[in-house]
A = this chain, B = another copy of it.
Amino acid sequence: MRSQAFRDEEKVKALAGSPLFQGLGPEDLAAVGRSTAGRSFRTGELLFLAGQEARGFFLILEGRVKLSRFGSDGREQVLHILGAGEPCGEVPVFEGGVYPATCTSLTPVRALYLPREAFLGLARQRPQLLLGMLAILSRRLRALVELVDDLALKEVAPRLARCLLEEAGGRDILELSISKANLAARLGTIPETLSRVLARLQREGLLEVEGRTVRLLDPAALRRLSGNDSP
């Protein structure tokens, strides 16, 4: 991890682009900007560790990070993947204590570090910010509930199907944005199992895999498989 001073105007532009800070005036943005530190990370670098004392949180400006937990045997479970504009490591801001998970960059990342007090100070004057944060935490909660549901109640194939359908977003072809090892960790399994499931779905004619490109041959069947019977 190395520090890097970003120009103030650059920070302001970055803040303005994040949904969380939408609706703040330029002078507010400038104030936050002054109290933040810009940081850059190379791929695979650590932003923070689960259990580490937290004094602030990150706002991702560019690139993507994963939040994960590791078992005693070293196995990894990815909890979230976050991209530009999203806050990261914000839980301890409101509840104190330590980061609940470990954060690692998946790509080169540029981020702002906001000290807890700076954010809370501004939030006192702009409660708007708190509502934005509540919406974000709510989304995270919802995502985690889905993850628990998947892990506890579904097998790997349905989880994979749901994940692919989401990623595709209606299209019938998609490019995996993360390595298969990371995808496996996201799904709560290991690369070997992911490989096998992909091979099986391919054999059954539901999809076609070519490197990181996946073509969904039978989206309806995938939707059925994923257990998403709502639409």
Contact = CB atoms under 8 A, between A and B. Distances in A.
A95 interface: yes
A64 to B, nearest CB: 19
A50 to B, nearest CB: 9
A147 to B, nearest CB: 6
Oligomeric state, in copies: 2
Given A137-B137, A154-B71, A144 B142 contact: no
Interface in A129-143: 130-131, 133-135, 137-142
Given A79-B145, A152-B151, A134 B133 contact: yes
Interface string A151-173: 11110000000000000000000
Interface string A40-64: 0000000000010000000000000
A142 B101 CA distance: 9
Interface residues of A, number: 43
Interface of A: 51, 69-73, 75, 77, 79, 91-95, 100-101, 123-124, 127, 130-131, 133-135, 137-142, 144-149, 151-154, 188, 227, 230
Given A51-B230, A71-B153, 19 more contacts: A69-B149, A69-B152, A71-B149, A72-B153, A72-B227, A77-B149, A79-B145, A79-B148, A94-B137, A95-B139, A95-B142, A130-B131, A133-B134, A134-B134, A137-B137, A141-B141, A144-B148, A151-B188, A152-B188
